[in-house]
Copies of this chain bind each other. A is one copy, B any other.
Amino acid sequence: MPFSATPRDPLQHHLDLVITLLEKHKVVEALVHKQESPRQVLVEQLVHRQNLNELRHHLDRLHPADVAHILEALPLHDRLIVWDLVKSEQDGEILLEVSDAVRETLLADMAPQEMVAAAEELDAEEIAELAHDLPAEVVSAIVTRLDERERAQLQAALTFEDDQVGAVMDFDAVRIRSDVRLEVVLRYLRRFDKLPHQTDKLFVVDDDGRLLGALPLENLLLGDADEEVSAVMARELVAFQPEDDAADAAQAFERYDLVSAPVVNGDGLLLGRLTVNTMIDRVRQESEAETFNLAGLNEGEDLFGPVWRSARNRWPWLALNIITAFVASRVIDAFEGSIVQLVALAALMPIVSGIGGNAGTQTATLVIRGLALGQIASARVGALVFKELGIALINGLLWGSMLGLVAYGLYQHVGLGLVMAGAMTLNLLLAASVGLAVPLVMDKLGRDPAYGSSVMLTAVTDAMGFFIFLGLATLFLF
């Protein structure tokens, strides 16, 4: 068959093969270290070299994205062995494909001149993507090797934030004029060796470079060669400005099924274009950031990173967690007297706080997703508040009563049962309020609504859950 049968299997297959070859290599390496007889060492070094050659040969045939995938899936030591074997022309592409955390480990293994060489294979906007991870002297060495046009492009790309359209656009737009016939366009295209990747339309500009419309390749193929571009070009098209939010652009690509789209400045001047492959990466990154932020992980966490470094990576969140847990602990301490009088309170209190935390997380997750998709208009926050508080009230009364009955059954204490039911209802209402408020406020402040939501949420539902339950108990039972 002329094509690969399935996408995942070959990838897993490559990964397994690399791991097997690495294992072989390590067995030999261990023997060499044992310092056996010189002759034996010689033989084994040959085997060793043969293994590495086989591995190198295998890596040479892989797509840079596949090599990147393999590097992501390997622990640091193995990762660097593989990285050293990769052909240097591929270095740049691979550095673009790997995650930030893995990129850092790879760059730490490279000499400055290797980095400069890797950048030489890349376009200006790709260099811009790597630039903030490279040492300053490497960046300036790269800049001196660029021609004037590329240097201006790099400069332009670097002025935008990572999450702006200007930072993810490329400069490969094919430009044509509106007053020529399709035949001329076809002849013009034949002068290209290849078109920029994911070209589905050509951009029609006036003499000043202002965007007038776009000519889809489809119209070029299906149209009459004698027609003028202006007669068959699309005039209504989705265009972006470099200051636009890249996540919004990704959503527009999704909604309108775009493959490429022009980027223009305020004067309508065509600056570059966005392509769907960049946008699909953006959707993936966005979702990863959301999940990681919710769990209190740094986005840059490396699956197989060094232990000490990863441990430190988690300190800020852990510290915040410990502080909030400590506050909750102080709340309990304040009710020491009540607990000594009725020790059942100690056993029941984590039920109230735990369920509040979970219910609040559900609300916060819904709100975060709604915000990310732009589905929460400020005019409709009221409806959302009403719904989430309604759910909390229903579930609080219903499940709270049930738990109240169970508490009564266990401890034969009517008051305790009533306090349990009341505390559950109040804490669920509180959890829903906090689950709504935290992401909405973070969003209003211009922060990522997922960032730290769950830690703040648990802080409130724990401390307040204990306070409500023990407070009600102290008020009504003693």
Residues of A within 8 A of B (CB): 1-8, 11-12, 15-16, 19, 63, 65-66, 69, 72-75, 97, 186, 189-190, 192-195, 197-200, 211-213, 217-218, 220-222, 235-241, 244-245, 248-249, 251-257, 259, 262, 264, 268, 276-277, 279-281, 283-284, 286-288, 290-292, 294-297, 301, 303-305, 307-308, 310-311, 314-315, 317-319, 321-322, 325-326, 328-330, 332-333, 336, 339-340, 343-344, 346-348, 350-351, 353-355, 358-359, 361-362, 364-366, 368-370, 373-377, 379-380, 383-384, 386-387, 390-391, 394-395, 399, 402-403, 406, 455, 458, 462, 466
Please judge, given known A-B contacts A287-B284, A304-B384, whether A314 and B73 are in contact too, CB under 8 Å. Answer: no
Considering the complex, give the chain B residue whose CB is closest to the CB of A368: B291
Please judge, given known A-B contacts A259-B276, A458-B354, whether A19 and B377 are in contact too, CB under 8 Å. Answer: yes
Q: In the complex, are the beta carbons of B369 and A6 less than 8 A apart?
A: no
Apart from A11-B374, A65-B255, A336-B347, 10 more pairs, CB < 8 Å: A3-B211, A8-B248, A193-B222, A303-B384, A314-B395, A328-B350, A333-B344, A336-B343, A339-B346, A354-B462
Considering the complex, give the chain B residue whose CB is closest to the CB of A309: B391
A387 to B351, CA, bound (A): 32
Neighbour of A69 across the interface among B198, B295, B305, B375, CB < 8 A: B375
Q: In the complex, are the beta carbons of A255 and B69 less than 8 A apart?
A: yes
The 18 listed contacts between A and B (C-beta, < 8 Å) are A3-B235, A6-B240, A7-B252, A19-B377, A73-B376, A195-B218, A221-B221, A254-B281, A257-B277, A259-B276, A279-B280, A294-B295, A295-B361, A296-B362, A304-B383, A311-B391, A322-B399, A325-B350
List the B side residues contacting A3 at CB < 8 Å. Answer: 211, 235-239, 262, 264
Q: In the complex, are the beta carbons of B305 and A328 less than 8 A apart?
A: no
Neighbour of A369 across the interface among B15, B213, B291, B374, CB < 8 A: B291
List the B side residues contacting A217 at CB < 8 Å. Answer: 217, 221
Which of A2, A241, A277 counts the most chain B CB atoms within 10 A? Answer: A2
List the B side residues contacting A66 at CB < 8 Å. Answer: 255
List the B side residues contacting A315 at CB < 8 Å. Answer: 395
Q: In the complex, are the beta carbons of A379 and B220 less than 8 A apart?
A: no
Shortest distance from the beta carbon of A1 to any chain B beta carbon, whole Å: 6
Q: In the complex, are the beta carbons of A257 and B197 less than 8 A apart?
A: yes
Neighbour of A221 across the interface among B186, B264, B387, CB < 8 A: B186
Please judge, given known A-B contacts A218-B195, A291-B365, whether A74 and B380 are in contact too, CB under 8 Å. Answer: yes
Q: In the complex, are the beta carbons of A244 and B6 less than 8 A apart?
A: yes
How many copies of this chain does the complex contain?
2
A249 to B343, CA, bound (A): 56
Q: In the complex, are the beta carbons of A16 and B374 less than 8 A apart?
A: no
Neighbour of A332 across the interface among B222, B297, B321, B350, CB < 8 A: B350
Q: In the complex, are the beta carbons of A318 and B255 less than 8 A apart?
A: no
A384 to B74, CA, bound (A): 10
Neighbour of A222 across the interface among B192, B221, B290, CB < 8 A: B192
Q: In the complex, are the beta carbons of B406 and A326 less than 8 A apart?
A: yes
Please judge, given known A-B contacts A355-B321, A373-B72, whether A63 and B326 are in contact too, CB under 8 Å. Answer: no
Q: In the complex, are the beta carbons of B347 and A333 less than 8 A apart?
A: yes
Please judge, given known A-B contacts A221-B221, A340-B343, A350-B332, whether A403 and B322 are in contact too, CB under 8 Å. Answer: yes
